């Protein structure tokens, strides 16, 4: 990835990336700025809503309770890591349905490698080796996804759906159909310990988010990603190597899933093949709530962060204020629909193309 080279004038011809009618970031109207921030505004409104609810219903506090903040942050880690990779893929106009099971595959690989190496090379070294092995193994389905999509022109939805099944089968085979317990107290500390009273996995995730935000917003790789998602023909004419970019892109999303799998296994002290299965829809939902368009060309990492926290706050908050469990399904569904409606309305309002 061309992380090292921020875009310069010499990097043109990078075509314009936003599907909106305006042709530069500085010309954004106030309306658009607000629309771009909608996920954060939504999050703020939700938190305020729960705070008022807690104060009036049982004179407690929701957001001023550090325990709640910590719990929500831990809750958001796994879906957010998947959503970061998914954001890149969705901006390019694709989707990666295999992420959930690549995460499970990485969790199982990490468990086996760490268990196998701990007696030989010691705890921290085994954890490092398990970390590297898990991400490397996770990148294999990513490479295959990338080749399918870029060289063989398989639609991403279909190609990654196939890999969904393959990764799942391989993960279960490796795990022997069960969960693999890990005995390495350093790894368990990594998954459950705290640094400056913030869980270590939250620190790791925050650092990763910042890097991925920088790559998407400040580097040529990120610019190319927007360009391909906005108009693949224009991107090709502008000289972007689409095949190479798509291959790297799906490796990137698989590595995000790999990281999520390693942190999951650290936290639960076990590698479980089905670890990421329930998270796949949540991660796509986080990206959409965060303002990315499923048609490609728009979306930001910071928006996705807000999207992931919207889902986490709703699900945690409804339990905290003690609402009937089934409302959780309904409320997350409603938030997704509202987000898409706002997106459509914004495009119409700003004179941009409305995807039919």
Instruction: Draw the binding track, 161-180, toward another protein (x: CB under 8 A; -: no contact).
Output: -------xx--x---xxxxx
Tokens (6 digits) for 160: 């990654």
- The 10 Å CB-count burial string (b at 16+, else e) for 202-218 is bebbeebbeebbebbee
Check binding of 70 to another protein (CB under 8 A).
yes
Q: How many CB atoms lie within 10 A of CB 330?
A: 11
Tell me which of 72, 126, 133, 149 binds another protein, using CB under 8 A. Answer: 72
Cβ contacts of 97 within 8 Å, gap of 6 or more: 157, 160, 161, 163, 164, 280
Burial class (CB within 10 angstroms; exposed 0-12, middle 13-18, buried 19+) of 192: middle
Helix (H/G/I), strand (E/B), else coil: 324: coil
The distance of closest approach from Cβ of residue 84 to another protein in the complex, given in angstroms and rounded to an integer, is: 16
Contact stretch for another protein (CB under 8 A) within 1-9, 64-72, 134-142, 203-211: 64-72
Q: Which is nearer to another protein, 102 or 227 (CB)?
A: 102
Closest to 175 measured CA to CA, from 270, 75, 47: 270
Tell me which of 98, 150, 293, 315 binds another protein, using CB under 8 A. Answer: 315
Distances (CA, A) of 153 to 95, 140, 247: 14, 18, 12
Contact stretch for another protein (CB under 8 A) within 4-12, 216-224, 228-236, 264-272: 264-272
Check binding of 181 to another protein (CB under 8 A).
yes
Tell me which of 43, 80, 312, 336 binds another protein, using CB under 8 A. Answer: 312
Work out the angle between the directed axes of helices 242-268 and 220-230 (0-180°, nearest 10). Answer: 110
Q: Which is nearer to another protein, 234 or 281 (CB)?
A: 281
# of chain residues touching another protein (CB under 8 A):
47
Q: Which helix (H) or strand (E) holds 205?
A: helix 200-218
Task: Give CA–CA dist 15/139, Å, rounded.
Answer: 29
The distance of closest approach from Cβ of residue 30 to another protein in the complex, given in angstroms and rounded to an integer, is: 36
Check binding of 59 to another protein (CB under 8 A).
no
Tell me which of 225, 269, 304, 346 binds another protein, using CB under 8 A. Answer: 269
Check binding of 141 to another protein (CB under 8 A).
no
Tell me which of 67, 152, 153, 233 binds another protein, using CB under 8 A. Answer: 67
Q: Are 279 and 100 in contact (CB under 8 A)?
A: yes
Check binding of 56 to another protein (CB under 8 A).
no
Binding residues for another protein (CB under 8 A): 58, 60, 65, 67-68, 70-72, 74-75, 78-79, 168-169, 172, 176-183, 192, 199, 264, 267-270, 272-275, 277-279, 312, 315-317, 319-322, 324-325
């Amino acid at each position: 990835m061309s992380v090292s080279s921020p875009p310069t004038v010499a990097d043109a011809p990078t075509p314009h990336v936003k599907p909106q009618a305006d042709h530069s970031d500085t010309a954004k109207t106030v309306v658009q700025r607000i629309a771009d921030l909608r996920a954060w505004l939504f999050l703020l409104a939700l938190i305020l809503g729960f705070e008022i609810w807690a104060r009036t219903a049982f004179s407690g506090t929701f957001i001023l309770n550090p325990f709640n903040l910590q719990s929500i942050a831990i809750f958001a880690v796994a879906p957010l890591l998947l959503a970061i990779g998914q954001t890149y893929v969705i901006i390019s106009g694709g989707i990666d349905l295999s992420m959930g099971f690549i995460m499970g595959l990485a969790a199982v690989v990490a468990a086996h490698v760490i268990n196998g190496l701990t007696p030989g090379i010691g705890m921290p070294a085994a954890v490092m080796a398990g970390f590297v092995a898990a991400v490397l193994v996770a990148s294999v389905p990513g490479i295959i996804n990338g080749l399918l999509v870029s060289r063989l022109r398989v639609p991403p939805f279909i190609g990654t759906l196939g890999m969904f099944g393959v990764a799942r089968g391989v993960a279960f085979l490796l795990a022997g159909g069960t969960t693999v317990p890990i005995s390495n107290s350093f790894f368990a500390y990594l998954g459950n310990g705290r640094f400056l009273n913030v869980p270590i996995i939250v620190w790791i995730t925050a650092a990763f988010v910042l890097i991925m935000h920088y790559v998407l917003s400040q580097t040529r790789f990120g610019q190319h990603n927007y360009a391909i998602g906005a108009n693949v023909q224009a991107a090709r004419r502008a000289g972007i190597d689409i095949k190479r970019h798509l291959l790297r892109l799906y490796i990137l999303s698989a590595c995000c899933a790999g990281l999520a799998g390693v942190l999951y296994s650290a936290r639960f002290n076990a590698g479980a093949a089905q670890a990421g299965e329930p998270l796949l829809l949540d991660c796509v939902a986080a990206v959409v709530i965060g303002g990315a368009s499923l048609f490609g060309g728009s979306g930001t990492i910071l928006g996705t962060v807000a999207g992931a926290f919207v889902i986490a706050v709703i699900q945690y908050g409804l339990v905290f204020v003690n609402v009937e469990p089934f409302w959780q399904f309904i409320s997350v569904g409603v938030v997704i629909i509202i987000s898409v409606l706002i997106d459509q309305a914004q495009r119409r309002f700003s004179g941009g193309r409305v995807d039919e």
